């Protein structure tokens, strides 16, 4: 069964690309997450993409694995519940997590 996940793409007033995710990211939909992130990176060109995970209720290792190849080109927004997971995974050492 595929976990529920939706994406929104937008631009901040400063021109940065924002990819928002809402729902759960797990192995059933990590491919869709990877595709959405790759598309956002193409649209952002040389700018970092803000990956807004504040609407994500669950993130497993498959979702984390999608983020690692992009650490030099993303900034993460996370909730207080998700931030410790990103820290334990080491993402806060590799990219900005707010």
H or E, element range at 52 = strand 49-59
Question: Whose structure tokens read 């803000």?
Answer: 50
> What domain range includes position 86?
5-97
3-state secondary structure of 24: strand
| pLDDT, tens digit (0-9, with 9 covering 90-100), for 24-40 | 999 999 999 999 999 99
Q: Rg of the chain's alpha carbons, rounded to an integer?
A: 12
Residue 42: other Cβ atoms inside 10 A: 10
Cα–chain-centroid distance for residue 37? 7
CATH code of the domain containing 51: 3.30.750.24
The pLDDT of residue 1 is above 70? no
pLDDT tier at 2 (50, 70, 90 boundaries)? Answer: low
pTM: 0.92
Domains identified in the chain, total number = 1
């Amino acid at each position: 069964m595929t976990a529920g996940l939706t994406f929104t793409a937008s631009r901040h007033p400063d021109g940065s690309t924002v990819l928002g995710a809402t729902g759960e990211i797990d192995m059933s939909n990590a491919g869709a997450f990877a595709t959405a992130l790759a598309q956002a990176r193409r649209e952002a060109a040389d700018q970092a993409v803000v990956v807004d995970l504040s609407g994500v209720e669950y993130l497993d290792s498959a979702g984390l694995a999608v983020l690692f190849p992009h650490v030099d080109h993303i900034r993460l927004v996370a909730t207080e519940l998700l931030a410790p997971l990103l820290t334990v995974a080491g993402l806060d050492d590799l990219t900005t997590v707010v």
